[in-house]
Structure 1
């Protein structure tokens, strides 16, 4: 196993692992090995194609990978997942064909040489073992030709990828300059002017609104919306039956089983039968309590053949007692060597037990764990009740019950969200999984209640009504938003004019306090300062300050207008980064540049190779 792990850490091992175990490789996607192309394709790229099976396999693998990283499954956006997987598969097909066209390949001799160097295929004498190699292929259901073909294909892609990504140039001098820029700082004073303070000074005419509408009509679209009714269930709101002693016993049995603990105590018994068995057993127990020897009493009173050997029956075996096993186990609970149980009524009669030897592990007693076991039993009952409740509601939804009927029958409250949007959703149910279900074609057409959708704090069921698709807004529908936009634009322009006038009067630090508006002293700030907005940060270091003076800059901002006053730029004399960290920074920058170059190259390949999509098959593969 160690050799296998070492092999999988090597470059050919990683390639084989990618090919055999994961659908994700170069560009994030890798298909499983296939013997032939599925005729049911969703896309045709040049001389290659993507089959429905290949696409669904990649989607499922990618979904599993993403879900492993998400704290809440409802946050997974299926539409984005479908798009990313499809793009990755198409990109790979493009690069595969281009690599072949450019003659990028690897010979069998090279692959043979690489594999012969791997320890996993070597025998005790360090020689390549055909037997080990054959076993390796057999375990993965591959032939030698398949392995070599996939190796050759992947290595060809690596060559092409390296020739594009690996050529990105970003010299260390530029890296040092970039680091120095990030270390720059300066004293900054800030005053912001809100455009709303000027809103009363501007007017927006109907003519201006109409002119804007005519110029921007194609972009003035409504959002897809529904009115959404929903119910929500959480484990905490489910009514749970009280925990019984039987529940605690079951949890204790499960606890012992989880420890793989067995009752290694050896027992002896006294069995009495007949009409007066209960009175006889009580009399024997009284003698034992007074110190009588258990083995002697067993020989005298026990009606079981084991009585002649002092009643010894070996280890406790629950199957011997059938339905009475739980009662016997309860009587034996907590007994230590030499202690005697109370008489137990079983199908054999009345039995009294004692522990003669104990080789078992030290398992805590039920009483010492009672509080913990009670909590576990309560949690278990809550989970079971919660699951039963989900099943019941799903059954009602499948039978066509309305949201109100389901809520009434299950004792839940119906909540409503008006104008629930498909995009830019900021509601309490903004999870992609909920949005996808709410706007599902079948659900909208039938105005049906969905099945339960798991969210972070429970499960929700939704029912959409009054569906409004995306459409171009009429002038009347867009009038208010256009008026607001034009009013903001005009008011912002006035705010910016005043900001520029103020900025022109500030030449030295003393001028700041002479202004009629207050400035906030931010102190020494750098390019990452959270005190500034994105636009403010972009301009704060754009101009140098004159000697013994300050520079004042007025800009249009998200809020309206901002005036930034700054003194001379200062740079740390030495970066806190080590040479190794600088080299790592350079590598990251080059890799990012290389990825940009790769995307540009893929855009070029999309123009070179004909790409045809089968929209019907694609929709079917996506479950639409």
Structure 2
């Protein structure tokens, strides 16, 4: 949701920030409509409301960034290795979430729920993402919105309004569920149950020691399985890659332009008035009374620095006579700042002032007047800022031109580059270039940016682009970069030569042979266990390794998650007996789990039960939420675009 984007913008590295671009779609009238391929880019319609492809791409990128930060950069490579269709499934899952959000938005609109602008404004001003030193800061607000990809505060405000409407709509569902005492106690029993198990690991290496593979077996296996040993397919393509840095040379300006920028942003070049003070801090229930006593001594002529050393409970300043560093009014506690800036001249002392830290007596030491840099002094910085700002606008203009022209003229990128370079008739440029990349293999590693991006490689090897021979759509690469590709030539996958894969085939044949032997051996182990026989003899032979018994609970996070899951799926055995099961790990290792004992001993724990009560209520609320969304989906007309490869195996809902 948009709040996830916001927090990405507020805390994540700028290179990972997503940027939403609205691509204007249009139809070309007359003969042109017969010349341009029909490219329906929208993946789905919900009651005739389109969910655009670019919004889906943004959400996919956001979710990928979150998962990569949580599980590491290799997460998606590992998933793709396990399932070549993982990327399509991941994208389809994100789309389903967006459909759920849209049907809920439409349901809320029909119910007439509206959030007043005042509530939205108050919410924005209370959000920590937009605060500096505990206070709302307009510059921070705009900075975070820009990093998160919101094109304007109005766009963000509308998104926040929608989110608040959903919270209001769902509040009765969230607040209406509760947990029964029996449910809490049953869940507590499950969570605190201790299970003792023994893990038996099968040494696979023992089953490959005597496996021999002849050259004839290798040749026969190769002929039967050629398609398993393929040379990666390759693509040659042309492309336009552009960043906002590339177009800085296309920014032209006069001194008047710079002066206008300087005047509009004068606050950047102004250092506000500061005040240097000393204070005496007093804390405790009687702080105000003590402060009045100290103030009386000051009024009688006592030395402020001496009293600060004697009475102040701010150890960092007391020994220095209570002196604090100079500060501007917005960079200090509100009450302290107000009292400090109310003092007229150096030497003035305030009455006792209450703050979150205690009670203060403040003495004004120095007034540091506000200062401003002249336009001449600031010119270099003005140029830098102006060029940076304008280059973003030039970049957006050129990106839109490339997007439009490459769509209207799908057979080549040349005209798109030409028109983008001619966008400023007074200053034509050669910034936008069509480049040709030599053949690149689909399994290539360590590619330079932008070809290291999965979204770019997906387009380069997109069979639809290859078959139609058209330009790709604009591929967004964050806020300040994009790429468009056109496939020039394609070399399909071809079988590798037998000599190049002999060792690989030998290993595959050995693995298949050992797997069959392992299966047979493990079945024998299970038969022995079912008869109550010991496995010590097998352990002594080196065929298996028996770990020491281990006791775990469902809350134990020091055990492999898959092993823990399997342990707790084993059924309880009758007293004096054991239960066991055979499992295969993700890496192919085979192991047997023996459940030795189960101990249920739930102790009273009020804080735990309060937590479980809350969690059960949340789970019930989520279930209600799913029912609500399923009902809304059932009443909606959801039309999927089946030309999208990530939707070709999805089943329509609500049609």
Q: Is this a same-fold pair by TM over 0.5?
A: no
Greater Cα radius of gyration, structure 1 or 2: 1
TM (norm. structure 2) is 0.39
